[in-house]
Structure 1
Amino acid sequence: MSTPDINRWNERFDTADFIFGKEPNAFLVSKEHLLRPGARALALADGEGRNGVWLAEKGLEVLSVDASSVAQEKARALAAERGVRVGFEMADLDTWDMGHERFDLVVAIFIQFSPPHLRERLFERMKAALVPGGLLLLEGYRPEQLRYRTGGPPTAENMYTTDLLRRSFGDLKILELVERDVEIYEGSGHGGMSALIDLVAQKP
């Protein structure tokens, strides 16, 4: 992510309000039954911390990563407000080394800021970071989201399709891959009918 992009996110997050709300993403909450207390979780592009903090509340050992220093300050405040311990690291996901077989769970909710040539490398690093048997929980927008304009990137090339995710994560065991159109309300950043795609996959 370029410096102008990071500055833009810092400016966007620089408000008293939590622009994506303080409550966790609904898809993530729906997978609570898959979570194991004590598991090591990586929350990618976690922004103001709503998902990472929720995972910590469920007893997971969480590393929350984001490129925005402003967002991470708010995430730290949210963790303190909820009384949970979360590890934080400020990093550009386009280049950050996630490590090898380091996490039991990787959570990637609306991380569609990377263009295709960078997204492929990002996906490979996400898979490498999982331990054998580890889970990937990913939610994003489909190209049809451009009709709704209720959140997400402005270009279709940054969005996900079923074919794209099957190709990218075909070396994992795909437990769930679902397209759905549903109304979501996540602060002022995401609101209204949305074209979503959800992936649950497990590393062999």
Structure 2
Amino acid sequence: MVVGIFIQFAGLDLRAKQFADMKRGLRTDGRLVLHGHRPEQIGSGTGGPRNAENMYTEAELHKVFAGWTIERIASYDCDQTSGRAHVGKAALIDFVARKASTASMAHMP
């Protein structure tokens, strides 16, 4: 299992490397769990990256992890209270996916 929680402070180039490392690090049927902010977080004043491109969207995660079994993908808003800078509404996303076998991925379009 690989877990990434609020790791979105990396730019796009580093994130591409992070995702590639996550994919490589998991065995077949291994599970990836990501939790973080969505671009709607910008301007909320409740924490998160300053750049929208550092945040996750459902479309991006579907694209990056095409061929994987998505067990949960959810975009939602919630109230948070985790330190002085993180109080109020937060635009969040959860992503849980299981790595498919190479054989099953070979049959994907």
Letter paired with 1:174: I
Structure 1 vs Structure 2 CA RMSD: 1.2
Equivalent-residue separation in structure 1 for 2:3 and 2:73 (angstroms)? 15
* Residue 192 (str. 1) matches residue 85 (str. 2): no
Note the C-alpha offset of 1:189. Answer: 4.6
User: Which fold has the larger relative contact order, with Cα–Cα distance below 8 Å and residues 6 or more apart in sequence?
Assistant: 2
User: What stretches of structure 1 move > 3 A for 4+ residues in a row?
Assistant: none
CA deviations on 1:57-106 (whole Å, 9 max, x unpaired) are xxxxxxxxxxxxxxxxxxxxxxxxxxxxxxxxxxxxxxxxxxxxxxxx11
Q: Could you say which structure has the larger radius of gyration?
A: 1
Q: Tell me the SS of whatever aligns to 1:133.
A: coil
Number of residue pairs matched by the alignment: 100
User: Aligned AA for 2:2?
Assistant: V
1:163 aligns with 2:59: yes
Runs (5+) with no aligned partner, structure 2: 101-109
1:129 & 1:191 partners in 2: Cα distance?
A: 34
Structure with bigger helix share is 1
Residues 180, 121 of structure 1: CA spacing in aligned structure 2 closer, same or farther, 3 A cutoff? same
Measure, in 1, the Cα distance between the counterparts of 2:22 and 2:32.
Answer: 8
- Superposition TM-score, scaled by structure 2 size: 0.84
Q: Distance in 1 between matches of 2:27 and 2:87?
A: 35
Select the residue among 52, 74, 78 that pairs with 1:178: 74
How far off is 1:191 after superposition?
Answer: 2.3
